[in-house]
Structure 1
Amino acid sequence: MPLQADTAPTLRSLFFAFSKIGLTSFGGGLSGWMLREFVQRRAWLTQQEFLSGLALAQAFPGINVVNLSIWIGFQLLGGAGAVVAACGIVLPPMVVALTLASVFSHVADVRGVHVVLAGIAAAAVGLSLQTGLRAALHAAKGWARSLILLATFAAIFFWRLPLLWVVGVMAPLSITLAWRRIRAEAAAEASTP
């Protein structure tokens, strides 16, 4: 249930929503903030839509959160929404980052600064883990999907195989299984009067 469902998004509200995420999500974990903002708070997307967009964003080359921003913007407001979302997630934080980088060069030797940054990083990892677990629970429906999820995790985490090789093998396998499932569902629907 949304915390505060907004009306339909506008280019302005989309820009400010992405700017807010970009400016308040320190240390990473932006996809978790996006899930909370666009699915749980504003109800502009369903969880299913968001997780599908997240999967696509991770499959495309480039920065995942920028890809996800472009996808969300496009889903909500077309091409203009994609541009506005990308600008919102990138430009305001970039200005702040450049400013803070110049300040940090003056306080880099202060131990307290590094402690604060470590705390922020820990919170960001927790947020990313929460989003990853949601995606895993969503993806692990059925034994074949669960097996692909576990095999991919084991190949990268335990066996430390190269990511490109793992994705190169598992993605086509996963796509083939999904295609077969969709085809079987369509055939079942077609045969039902």
Structure 2
Amino acid sequence: MNIYWDSFKTFFHIGIFTLGGGYAMIPLIEEEVVNKKQWVSHEEFLDLIAIAQSCPGVFAINISIFIGYKLRKIRGAIATALGTALPSFLIILMIAMFFHRFEDNPVVAAIFRGIRPAVVALIAVPTFNLAKSAKISWVNCWIPVAGALLIWLLGVSPIYIILAAGIGGYVYSKYIKPTE
């Protein structure tokens, strides 16, 4: 099968059946591209997630572009990006066309209230899986907790947290880890 069509179709399928945005897509993307199709290894996937999170733009698009580029360079990146973005675009277009008819409907409001806990779970599961894969233990679990608290309680910009984590990771791998 044509790799461009296969990658487009894969990411279109993920995009159309995922509620909650890019982070909720992580388990589906991992299942498809790592486990089923084996386009990237688990370690590469974790690296791609880290890079996609630190790049500006929509997370799901970023990760799809990186995977598509790995598969077939620019054309692969275009195919996967279109596959990821097109379902959301079409759904939002349809909602915009018909939402005024349903905006005050209590059934629609109840459906959206019911979806929220599922979205939280879809985001929480990959977060814990990433923590396990990143070998976060009791010794270093303070790092993400401290970052979250700095953002939440003190209003520190996430950009500063990302920069500090990057510098800390570089210093650790360059100067501390070789001596362990």
Task: Return the TM-score normalized by structure 1.
Answer: 0.80
Q: Partner residue of 2:45?
A: 50
- Unmatched tracts of structure 1, length 5 or more: 1-7, 186-193
* Contact map agreement 1:148 1:174 (CA 8 A) in 2: no
Is 1:148 the counterpart of 2:150 in the alignment? no
Greater Cα offset, 129-138 or 28-37? 28-37
From the superposition, tell whether residues 159 and 32 of structure 1 become closer, same or farther in structure 2 (CA, over 3 Å): farther
Q: Partner residue of 1:89?
A: 84
Is 1:164 the counterpart of 2:159 in the alignment? yes
Greater Cα offset, 126-135 or 145-154? 145-154
Amino acid at match of 1:129: A
Is 1:59 the counterpart of 2:54 in the alignment? yes
Cα deviation, residue 92, structure 1: 3.0
Amino acid at match of 2:93: L
Kindly report the root-mean-square deviation, in angstroms, between the aligned alpha carbons of the 2 structures.
2.6
Amino acid at match of 1:74: Y
- Unmatched tracts of structure 2, length 5 or more: none
Task: Return the TM-score normalized by structure 2.
Answer: 0.85
From the superposition, tell whether residues 142 and 126 of structure 1 become closer, same or farther in structure 2 (CA, over 3 Å): closer
Q: Partner residue of 2:113?
A: 118
- 1:131 is paired with a residue of what secondary structure? helix
1:71-127 Cα shifts (integer Å, max 9, x gaps): 111112222111111111012321222012222221111011011122223212211
Amino acid at match of 1:26: L
Structure 2 distance, partners of 1:9, 1:134, is 32
* Contact map agreement 1:18 1:85 (CA 8 A) in 2: yes
Residue 18 (structure 1) aligned to one of 11, 15, 37: 11
Structure 2 distance, partners of 1:148, 1:95, is 39
From the superposition, tell whether residues 87 and 34 of structure 1 become closer, same or farther in structure 2 (CA, over 3 Å): same
Structure 2 distance, partners of 1:12, 1:79, is 14
- 2:40 is paired with a residue of what secondary structure? coil
